[in-house]
Chain A
Amino acid sequence: MNTILRLEHIQKYYGNEGNLTKAIQDISFSVEAGEFLGIMGASGSGKTTLLNCISTIDTVSAGHIFLEGTDITEIRQSSLARFRRENLGFVFQDFNLLDTLTISENIALALAINKVPAGSVESRVLDMAGKLNISDILDKYPYQVSGGQKQRCACARAMINNPKLLLADEPTGALDSHSSQMLLSTMQSINEQLGATILMVTHDAFSASYASRILFLQDGEIFMELRKGDDSRSAFFDKILNVLTMIGGGQSHVC
C-alpha cells in the first residue's frame, strides 16, 4: 500500500516567548491510502489542532506534512484554498450546511466551486446521493431534515470531488445514538466501497471503533497506537476503552 499522508515532527505553539503553549509537541505518523484512521484524545490533547494543521486551516510551527508527496506546509497562502478544494473533503460536527440552499444544491456547490463542467454536476450529485441514501431528500432544505441526514449530506458534499483525504472532526458529536450508528456505517462503506482515505477525530470510543487504526494523543504527543487488525469491532471497542482508562490516569493517579 502507498502512503498518502505523512507527518514529520509536527510542532504547534501558541502565544509568545513569555507565555508559550505547546498544542502539539512532536508528532509523526503516516496514513496509507484507503485507511480509516481515528484520532482520539481528551480535551486539550491537540487533536483538533492537528486536524486544522493537516487541513491547512492552521499553520504548523515546525515540521512537514506531505500529502501524496506535496509538502503542504510550503504551499503559498494564495494557493491554499485551491489545494483544499482539490484534495481534501471535510465533515464537521455541526454539519456546516448552508441553510439557503437545498440538500442537492449544498452538494452541487462543492462541485461548482471546483469548476466542474455544469452539465455533469447533476448526474454526479444524484449518483453520490444514491450511494449515501439521501436521494429522497435532495430537494429539501437543511432545516427540513434530521441531523443524521444533514451529516450524510455533509459526507456527500465532502466526497463528491473524490478527495485524496476525507477529514472528519467529531462527525457524530451532534447526533443521537441511532443517527451516529447510521452515519458511521455510511463512513465505513465510503471507506470500504469507494476506497476513501478517512481521518476522523473523535473522543467517542464507539465512533472510534469503526476505524481500522487509532492514534491516541495526550498533551500534544502520540500516546499510543492501536490497530484493529482481525479483531471484531466489539473486541476493538474494549481495547479502546482500556487505552482510554490508561490515558485517564488509571487507578494509580486517583488517590
Chain B
Amino acid sequence: MLKDITLGQYFPLDSVVHRMDARFKIIITMLYLVMLFWGQHVISLIAGFVFLILALICSKIPPKMPVRSIKPILPVLIFTGTLNFFAMKGGTIYWQWKFLSVSSQGIQTSAFMIVRICLLIMGTSLLTYTTSPIALTDAIESLLSPLKKLNMPVHALAMMMTIALRFIPTLIEETDKIMSAQKARGADMESGGLIQRVHALVPILIPLMVSAFRRAEELALAMECRCYHGGEGRTRLRELKSGMRDYIALGITLLLLAAVIVGNILLSRT
C-alpha cells in the first residue's frame, strides 16, 4: 500500500547516468524543467519527451518505474485536467452550461498540462532513481556553497536534508507496521465520515511521532559519539568529481533547451 510510493527512491544500477556527477544531474534536471515550462508550444513537450527517453535509455532504469511514479499524483492530474478542461474558454466552443464549457482551447490546455506534469514528475523521479540521497544532498551542499559567504549554514541544511531523506523509507515502513498492528486490534480506517477517519488516524500518528522522536534522539547520540560537530574541516569519503560525460550531458541538454527557445521564437512570430 504505502510501499508502492516510489517517488524519491534510489534504484541502484550501474549506468552512465548513475556514474554522473550529482551536481550536473541537478543542474540538468533544472534545465529540463525550464525546457518544459518555456512557452506554450508543443515543441517544449517534444524536446522534454526526447530528453526523457534519452535519459531513460542511458540510465537503464526500467520504463515501468518512472511511469509508476505518476500514480501518487494522479488526483492532482485529474484535478488540473478537469479544471482546465471545463474552465478554459477560447477557440471553438463545443458545449456550454452556465460557467462550464468545453472548448478547443480547453481541451488543448488540459492535455498540455497533463503531459507537462507527467514529464515533470518522470524527469525528476529519474534524478532520484539514479542518484543516491547522500550524493544528492552532497551535490546540493556543493551547489549552495557560495551562500556560505552570506553566513548561511549550508552544511547544516544539507545534513538536515540528508537525514530527512534517509528516514522517509524508514518511517513509511514504520507507518505500515503500526497501521497493521492497529488494524489487528480492530481499528477501522476504511469506513466512516471525514471526522471519523481523522479520528482513526490518532492511533497511528501518536506512535509514529513517538518513534520519530526516539529515532531522532538515538541518531543525535550516535552522531555525538562519533564527534560530529558541524561541517568545519569535514572531509568526504566520496568526493564529487566531474568528467567528460557530465559536460557531454550538459551540452546535449543545453542544445535541446536552445532548440526549444529558438523554436518558440520562430513559432510565435508566425
Chain B binds chain A = no
Q: Which residues of A pack against B, CB within 8 Å? A: none
Q: Which residues of B pack against A, CB within 8 Å? A: none
